[in-house]
Amino acid sequence: MKGFARQSPPRSEMRTKAAYQRFLAQSGLSEFDVPPIMPMPLIESAKQCWGKSLPPDDTWQQFLSSLESNSNVLIEGIAGSLEERLSSLGAPRTPIPYYAGVFPTNSFNAQAVLIDDVALILIDTGCFSVLEALILLWGCVEDVQESLQRAAKIVVDYVDNYVAPEPTKYDHPDMHRDGYKLLAYSMIVTKTEEFVIGHELGHLRFGHLLGQRAPGTGGIYTANRSWDDEISADIFSLDLLTHQRDGLDLRTGCAGPYVFFATARLLERVRQRGSAERLSWTDTHPPSIMRAAVLERALSELGLLEIADLGQRFNWWAEECASLIERS
């Protein structure tokens, strides 16, 4: 969670955000529909736990205050940090101005689209809310069977009824007992979100959006991109999260892509037992199990597979959750 509100944004940022706001309006939406970064109960626990141990400087106070902002503040911060990361590695700036923000619908999807003369990186509410719910249940609830049962209910309700998980559905007393554990698994949430945004940023940088524009009526559309485009964007994002990193930052950076593909695979398996037409990202993307295999091969070639243990543990947990649902 890196999203800090910035004062006096450059004119180009104001222009791209205006395009985003117009895009929402075309679908009868606005930023008022964008959810907060964290559920209020967890914000209060975070302030109580972290506020006692974090340095009392302006940066951390700004961080704690930012948790009450809407999720666009987080996404803007992640996109900004990824651009800074690219700059530090000697890469040129992204060739097209863009804005990264939430598209407040419950789909498990993310999309980069062209509108007017700018690009929009749009993350559906359902994508990040499902990821956050599952990661915190997996990491913070000590009773594994209870975490699996709670997760199974959330996944079934999401796949069958298109209902994104409300904080009350996954908030648990264990999440309030250890502020450091909550912080650690919140880092994995952020790394997973970084991977998703980095993937869409890869599409922009590779020119995958050329000739593809969003419809004038708003709404995320089905992009006509090849599987090779999707795989190359995956590898771009993985490199961005892991290159010249070390320690916990590298370990959680390796976990983020694993967690995303394991969650997508879980939803795919549950979808196959019924007819959930809304979860149709597999029509335009390679199967998650294939993307995960490419990820593992890339991590192995980088010598990073041994420190991908957090992601591998989540993958096991997600497989157990899918099996539990299939047996029910």
User: In the prediction, which pLDDT does 211 show?
Assistant: 56
**Averaged pLDDT of the chain:** 83
Q: Which residues pair with 103 in a beta bridge?
A: 124
77 vs 2, 16, 140, 246, 312, CA distance in Å? 6, 15, 25, 21, 27
Q: What's residue 88's pLDDT?
A: 92
pLDDT for 37: 72
Residue owning tokens 């299939």:
326
Q: Mean pLDDT, to the nearest integer, of 182-207?
A: 92
How far from each other are the two terminal CA atoms of the chain, in whole angstroms? 36
Q: What is the mean pLDDT of residues 68-96?
A: 88
pLDDT at 176 over 60: yes
| Residue 174: count of CB within 10 angstroms of its CB | 18
DSSP 101: E
| Domain parsing of the chain, residue ranges | 11-327
* pLDDT the model gives residue 50: 57
139's enclosing H/E stretch is helix 125-140
